[in-house]
Amino acid sequence: SHDMFTIPLHTDEHSKFHHDPKGWEAKHGSQLFYVKQTIKKALDLGAMC
């Protein structure tokens, strides 16, 4: 899969995600939604074309 489908997380947040994925999703929304929002933000900022 393409790198654009990865979730950019700080080390602490990455650990929280792996420790409790369901809890992370309860707080931040589904992984798919989070990736979609990250891609949208990158496009809006002109970081991706």
Task: List, for residues 2-16, the tens digit of each pLDDT value.
Answer: 777 888 889 999 999
The answer to whether 39 and 48 are in contact (CB under 8 A) is: yes
User: Over 90: is that where the pLDDT of 1 sits?
Assistant: no
CA distance 38 to 47: 11
User: Over 70: is that where the pLDDT of 33 sits?
Assistant: yes
Alpha-helix residue ranges (DSSP H) falling in the chain = 11-19, 21-28, 31-45
Question: What domain count does the chain have?
Answer: 1
Look at residue 40 in the predicted model and tell me its pLDDT: 93
Look at residue 4 in the predicted model and tell me its pLDDT: 79
How many Cβ atoms from other residues are within 10 Å of residue 8's Cβ?
11
CA distance 49 to 44: 10
**What residue numbers bound the domain in which 31 lies?**
3-45
The answer to whether 34 and 8 are in contact (CB under 8 A) is: no
